Chains A and B, each alone.
Chain A
Amino acid sequence: MRANRTLEIGTGLFVLLGFAALLFLTTQLPASGVKFGAPKAGYHVSAEFDNVGDLKVGAPVTMAGVHVGEVQGIRFDSKDYKAVVSLRIDPQYKQIPEDSYASIQTQGLLGGKYVGISPGGLDSYLKDGSRIDQTQSAIVLESLINKFFANYASKGGGEGQGADNQSKVEPKK
Chain B
Amino acid sequence: MNQPAGNDIILEGVRRLGAVTIFLVRLLLESVPALSRPRLIVHQIYNAGARSLIIIMLSGLFVGMVLGLQAFNLLQRFGSEEALGTAAALGLLKELSPVMTALLFAGRAGTALTSEIGLMRATDQLTAMEIMAVDPLRHIAAPRFLGGVVAMPLLTAIFSLVGLYGAQLVGVQLMGVDKGVFWSQMQGSVGLRDVTEGVVKSLVFGVACSLIAVHEGYHAEPTAAGVGLATTRTVVASSVITLLLDYVLTAAFL
Contacts and interface: CB of A to CB of B under 8 A. Distances in A.
Interface of A: 7-8, 10-11, 13-15, 17-19, 21-22, 24-26, 28-32, 54, 56-60, 67, 70-71, 107-112, 114
A59 B150 CA distance: 38
Contacts of B151: 14
Interface size bracket, B side? 35 or more
A58 B182 CA distance: 9
B43 to A, nearest CB: 6
A114 B184 CA distance: 11
B50 A59 contact: no
B161 A25 contact: yes
A86 to B, nearest CB: 14
From DSSP, what is the main secondary structure of chain A's interface residues?
mixed
A107 B89 contact: no
A56 B184 contact: yes
Contacts of A15: 45, 49, 154
Interface of B: 42-43, 45-46, 49-51, 53, 78-83, 89, 93, 151, 153-155, 157-158, 160-161, 178, 180-181, 183-188, 190-192, 194-195, 198-199
B42 A11 contact: yes
A113 to B, nearest CB: 10
A157 B226 CA distance: 81
13 contacts: A7-B42, A11-B42, A11-B49, A14-B151, A22-B153, A25-B198, A29-B93, A32-B192, A58-B180, A108-B79, A109-B78, A109-B79, A110-B78
A71 B42 CA distance: 46
A152 to B, nearest CB: 26
A14 B161 contact: no
A28 B154 contact: no
A84 B63 CA distance: 40
B188 A56 contact: yes
B158 A17 contact: yes
Contacts of B43: 7, 11
Q: For the complex, would chain B's binding face be called helix, strand, loop or mixed by DSSP majority?
A: helix
Given A18-B153, A58-B184, A59-B180, 6 more contacts: A14-B45, A21-B161, A22-B153, A29-B187, A60-B178, A110-B79
A166 B185 CA distance: 45
A17 B158 CA distance: 7
A157 to B, nearest CB: 34
Residue from A15, A21, A56 whose CB has the most chain B CB atoms within 10 Å: A21
A21 B160 contact: yes
A151 to B, nearest CB: 27
A4 to B, nearest CB: 9
A150 B80 CA distance: 29
A30 B82 contact: no
B80 A110 contact: yes
Contacts of A54: 188
Contact of A22 (B46, B157, B190): B157
A24 B161 contact: yes
Nearest to A32: B192
A58 B187 contact: yes
A24 to B, nearest CB: 6
Contacts of B51: 10
B89 A7 contact: no
Nearest to A112: B82
Contact of B46 (A14, A19, A31, A60): A14
A30 B178 CA distance: 19
Enumerate the 4 nearest inter-chain pairs by beta-carbon distance, A residue then B residue, closest first: A18-B154, A58-B184, A108-B79, A14-B50
A14 B78 CA distance: 41
A35 to B, nearest CB: 10
A111 B177 CA distance: 12
A40 to B, nearest CB: 10
B34 to A, nearest CB: 17
A105 B188 CA distance: 18
